[in-house]
Amino acid sequence: MLMIELGAVGSTMTMRLGGRFIGTIAENLRLVLSMCPNVPEFVVNLSEVIVVDATGEDVLLWLGELGGKFVAGNSYTAGVCKRLKLPLVKTQQSKLKVLAVRKKPRAKSASCTAGCQFPGSIGKETLRPTSST
């Protein structure tokens, strides 16, 4: 199962992933994000991801090509980011953005600054969006 929390810090969209970033689940995330006409600046927090397969790696590479920056909060995700040459957020900035996402109350839906609406769920995966201030 994959946990996805969406939020925003200023004009930056934040996406916190947790669990297994594999197969169809990873592809569904790519599908939802590809519906955004204008992808804003975004940070992908991989601190709680425990497994990434080949499909998940492809999606992470795609997110990197879109301009995403990554937070790797453990040795496994740090190794994945290093091997895939994904851009990491500077340590101090990532700590602030991670804390901001965790402190926000959860809402029923969220939207990115590009006007995309994210539903409460996609297939079997659960989205837990956070509201922006």
Quick one: which of 119, 97, 101 has its CA closest to 32? 119
pLDDT at site 8: 86
The per-residue pLDDT of the chain, averaged, comes to 78
CATH topology of domain 2-127: Transcription Regulator spoIIAA (3.30.750)
pTM (2 d.p.): 0.69
pLDDT at site 95: 54
Round to whole Å and give the CA distance between 71 and 43.
Answer: 7
pLDDT at site 91: 61
Q: What ranges do the domains of the chain cover?
A: 2-127
pLDDT at site 37: 76
On whether the CB atoms of residues 52 and 22 are closer than 8 A, the answer is yes
Low-confidence residues of the chain, pLDDT below 70? 91-133
pLDDT at site 100: 56
